[in-house]
């Protein structure tokens, strides 16, 4: 059977399937050809995705949008966007890997590092501890050798209070803390710690 999808539709479907949610603004950022609405309507018409509130694209079987996926995707798009041209590196999007609970999703950076994205909300303390535990169990590195692991955790939140409290925690594993401010469905601003 021949694939009837255009490459940009397939890419968007793959991202939605692996992350659980995208916004129309994110689709526009990924697909600079300005066909975001057409792509969304095509995927919706063939029941590949559902659209909630005219803005959130989710897998057809899912019931609601995922704020965690949207927040983490803004950070990923920031990391893989060329500052001069505004274009994203589509090869990096192709390396997305579905998450496993404490990690929302991951991607492979330049075939050398794994970047894990985790959303932190009010239950941040137990999630950060679970991330640390998973990091040491998965990598097998000793305390003090964390940088040799090849894994970096992007800890993402929309809460200024969580941002401050997590920034004060002891976390020797390689990580970046990111606060997302503004409308997640629009173009929020990112603050890195």
Are 28 and 61 found together in one domain?
A: yes
Residue 10: DSSP 8-state: H
Are 184 and 93 found together in one domain?
A: yes
Does the structure show a pLDDT above 80 at 75?
A: yes
Are 98 and 166 found together in one domain?
A: yes
**Which one of 42, 65, 88 terminates a domain?**
65
Are 71 and 117 found together in one domain?
A: yes
Strand-strand pairing, 189-192 and 151-157:
unpaired
What is the pLDDT at residue 2? 42
Enclosing H/E stretch for 130: helix 124-139
pLDDT band at 6 (very low <50, low <70, confident <90, very high): low
Instruction: Indicate the average pLDDT of the chain.
Output: 91
Residue 8's domain spans which residues? 1-65
Count of structural domains within the chain: 2
Are 88 and 109 found together in one domain?
A: yes
- Give one DSSP letter per residue of 102-129, joined into a string: S-SEEEEETTTEEEEEEE--TTHHHHHH
Which stretches of 46-187 are DSSP H helices?
67-79, 90-93, 124-139, 160-167
Are 36 and 130 found together in one domain?
A: no
Does the structure show a pLDDT above 50 at 1?
A: no
What is the pLDDT at residue 7? 64
Are 78 and 100 found together in one domain?
A: yes
């Amino acid at each position: 059977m021949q694939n009837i999808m255009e490459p940009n539709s397939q890419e968007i479907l793959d991202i939605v399937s692996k992350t659980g949610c995208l916004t129309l603004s994110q689709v526009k950022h990924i697909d600079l050809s300005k066909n975001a609405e057409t792509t969304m309507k095509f995927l919706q018409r063939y029941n590949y995705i559902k659209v909630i509130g005219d803005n959130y694209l989710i897998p057809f079987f899912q019931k609601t949008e995922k704020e965690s996926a949207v927040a983490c995707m803004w950070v990923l798009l920031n990391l893989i966007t060329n500052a001069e041209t505004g274009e994203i590196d589509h090869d990096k999007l192709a390396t997305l890997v579905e998450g496993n609970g404490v990690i929302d999703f991951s991607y492979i950076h330049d075939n050398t590092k794994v970047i894990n994205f985790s959303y932190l909300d009010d239950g941040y303390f137990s999630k950060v501890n679970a991330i640390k535990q998973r990091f040491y169990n998965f990598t097998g590195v000793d305390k003090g050798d964390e940088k040799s692991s090849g894994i970096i955790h992007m800890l993402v939140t929309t809460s200024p209070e969580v941002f401050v409290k997590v920034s004060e925690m002891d976390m020797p594993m390689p990580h970046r803390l990111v606060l997302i401010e503004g409308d997640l469905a629009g173009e929020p601003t990112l603050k890195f710690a």
